Every structure is written in structure tokens, then in C-alpha cells.
Amino acid sequence: MQGRYANEELGRATYDKFSSKTAVEELQPLQARYAGLATNLSNLETYTDYAVEMAANLYTVWEKANLPTRQKLQNMIHTNGLAFAPEIGLYRTGRINVIFDSISSLSNDNNNKKTGSNTAKSVKSGLVGPTGIEPVTC
């Protein structure tokens, strides 16, 4: 239907009428299925607090963990896994789990407050002009 609308075979009024009907027909079964999946965890906040505390202290958790636990942590942090680059002898990582990346970002912001810097490096990097247009700014 979208293709026919894009090719101007359908008018706007006809497209709106049938697309909203189609959306409702497709959405209702999904909403019913989603409602059936909902679970009520009485101690969700406790689990969340534990997970945040563990994620905030990864170094300590890593040091105390056995091999299987370290592997689980590694898989949680590096969701796309690790790769070894033998030509340079280094490990490469893909995308970092968004939760751990956010905690790292918050930690960096907190360190900036302690050192007196009020802007994160990633924000500052956009303020530096390219070489050649004007003198380099710091």
C-alpha cells in the first residue's frame, strides 16, 4: 500500500483510511501478546540496584571473579565479542553494551567535576577548529 501511495496510485485520503486500519489490525495482536508477556517482579528495584552497583564496580567484580563469571561479564560488556589482531598483538572490541557505555560516560563526567573541568572531552572536541583555517584552538 505504501508503494502504491508513493507511486501516486492511491490518493492521500484513501491511503490514510486504509493505513490506519491496517496499523490497528496489526497492532492489536502485538499489544495483546505484549500484555501476556508482562511479569510483575516484586523485587525489580533490588535487582536493578544490584546490577548498577556491580556495573559501577567492574574492576573489583572482575578481580574477585572466577573464569566462567569473567566470561559472562565479558560477553555482557562486549556484546559483539572480542577479536584478536595478531599482526599488532592487540585485542579489538566491537560495540560496547549501551548500559556500560552510559555508566562510563557518567563516571567521566563525575571525574571532570572532581578535577574542575566542566566539559567532557567529547564535547570539547567539537569546539576545536581544523588546522589551516584559523590558528589551532585548545
DSSP output for 28-92? HHHHHHHHHH----TTHHHHHHHHHHHHHTHHHHHHH--HHHHHHHHHHH-TT-EEEETTTTEEE
pLDDT value of residue 86:
87
Residue 138 lies in a domain: no
Specify the pTM. Answer: 0.42
Same domain, 30 and 52: no
Higher pLDDT, 31 or 11: 31
pLDDT in tens, 55-93: 888 889 899 999 999 998 888 888 888 888 888 888 888
Same domain, 89 and 64: yes
Same domain, 13 and 57: no
Same domain, 85 and 116: yes
* Owning domain of residue 114: 44-127
Residue 54 lies in a domain: yes
Quick check: 61 and 54 in contact, CB under 8 A? yes
pLDDT value of residue 136:
54
CA-based Rg of the chain, rounded to a whole angstrom? 25
pLDDT value of residue 41:
65
**Number of structural domains the chain divides into:** 2
